[in-house]
Amino acid sequence: MENKLSLQAIRKGELARLRQEAYARRAGIAKRWGRRCLFLTAVALLVVAWQDPTLGPVMQTAAADAVHSVDVLFGGDGNARELVVAAMSDIRG
């Protein structure tokens, strides 16, 4: 009788461990796909906003300002803004 109870306890512990591993595996998969979907949604929204005639130029100016700030921060000559504006005008056109 005692042996039977200990086997049942071992089985319950094993089942609990397997259940926990399955939960952790499913949580990892959900986290991974959630991050991918979030990234793809953000990219899709940026593409839509970029093509909008009112938001596109604002985004272009913001990107050019950001590139200029990074260029100056890292000791560049500060002319990156014009290069970015020219390149983005070609892309949008």
Pick the residue with more confidence: 59 or 93? 59
- Identify whether residues 41 and 58 lie together within a single domain: no
Note the pLDDT of residue 62.
80
- Identify whether residues 9 and 35 lie together within a single domain: yes
Query: 63 is in which domain, residue-wise?
Result: 53-93
Q: How many domains does the chain have?
A: 2
Q: What is the Cα–Cα distance from 64 to 61, expressed in whole angstroms? A: 5
Mean pLDDT of the chain: 79
pTM for this one? 0.46
Q: What is the Cα–Cα distance from 90 to 26, expressed in whole angstroms? A: 45
**pLDDT score of 24 more than 70:** yes
Q: What is the Cα–Cα distance from 16 to 3, expressed in whole angstroms? A: 20
Handedness of CA 76, 82, 88, 90 (dihedral sign): negative
- Identify whether residues 3 and 45 lie together within a single domain: yes
Place of tokens 């959630």: 34
